[in-house]
Amino acid sequence: MSAGRQIFAIIRKDIIAELRTKEMVVSMLLFILLIMVAFRSAFGELGDITEFAGGLLWIAFLFTSLLGLNRSFVHEKDEGCLEGLLLSPVDRPNIFLGKMIGNLIFLSIVELLAIPLYITLFNLSIKGSVPLFIAAVLLSDVGICAIGTLLSTISINTKLRDMLLPLIFLPVSSPLLIAAVVATNKIMSGATGPEFEPALDAIKLLAAYDIIFLLLAYALYDFVIGE
């Protein structure tokens, strides 16, 4: 079995399981909507939140991705599927890529539904370039899923289980959060010229973060997935 087929098989398995229950995407989306209501309660008096719209969006996405990342391994662990995966003739790093791409697909679907809702509910608009906005979001997602898949594999194998993930995932993903917020804020507010410089730097940083942690997680996954 080639690497591509191995990875695809794992993704396919996760997608089929999700299509049967639809629990992950639905609960993640509901969670984002609830966070938006909380935002409204917290910042409703301000009226216009254009200034930090990107920041709020990323708080919602980061916490939602925590939910999804935990789910993706709780299943495997509870049903004993993880042992099955380890016994199957799949290379360990390919398990990482399969799980990561699966997580990325679910997170992207949730965001695809959530972003238009967010823009409508809070009366916002993307004043800058929309393709660049999508690129920034996708780059951030890749980083979130790369480091998140590695760390959720670790946390699910500890006594604290899903309690531990936020404690290690949030600080490690902080560069990503900062860069994603800077980029989306600048693009949404339609900054130009020197005002826009930080956004480009942020996008470069996101790309660097993704490459570094994809390689690192790929290399280290063998050590966390089991003896």
Partner 1 sequence: MKRTITILLLTGGALLLTGLALAFLVAPTAVGQKGVEIFSQKIFYFHVPVSETSLLAFILGAVFGVLFLVKKSPKYDFLSLAAVEVGFVFGLLVEWTGIIWTRAEWGVWWTWEPRLTSFFILMLMYAGYFVLRSSINEESARARFSAVYSIVAAVNAPLTFFAIRLIPSVHPVVFDSSGAHMEPSMLAAFLVSMFGMLIFSTALILIRYQLQTAREELDYLKNEL
Give the binding site for partner 1 (CB under 8 A): 147, 150-151, 154-155, 157-160, 164, 167-168, 170-172, 174-176, 178-179, 182, 198, 201-202, 205, 208-209, 212-213, 216, 220, 223-224, 227
* Cα–Cα distance measured from residue 23 to residue 71, given in angstroms and rounded to the nearest whole number: 9
For residues 25 and 188, which CB has a smaller minimum distance to partner 1 in the complex? 188
Min dist CB 155 to partner 1, Å, is: 8
Cβ at position 64, least distance to partner 1 in Å: 20
CA-to-CA dists, residue 206 to 106, 117, 135, 220, 222, angstroms: 20, 25, 10, 21, 25
Report the C-alpha gap between 88 and 177 in whole angstroms.
36
The Cα–Cα gap between 100 and 59 comes to 21
Q: Which of 26, 216 has the CB closer to partner 1? A: 216
Angle between helices 53-78 and 23-43 in degrees, nearest 10: 150
In the bound state with partner 1, the residue whose beta carbon lies nearer, of 109 and 207, is: 207
DSSP tag of 51 = G
Looking at beta carbons only, is 72 or 153 nearer to partner 1?
A: 153
Minimum distance, C-beta of residue 18 to partner 1, in the bound complex (Å)? 28
* Shortest reach from residue 2's CB to partner 1, in Å: 27
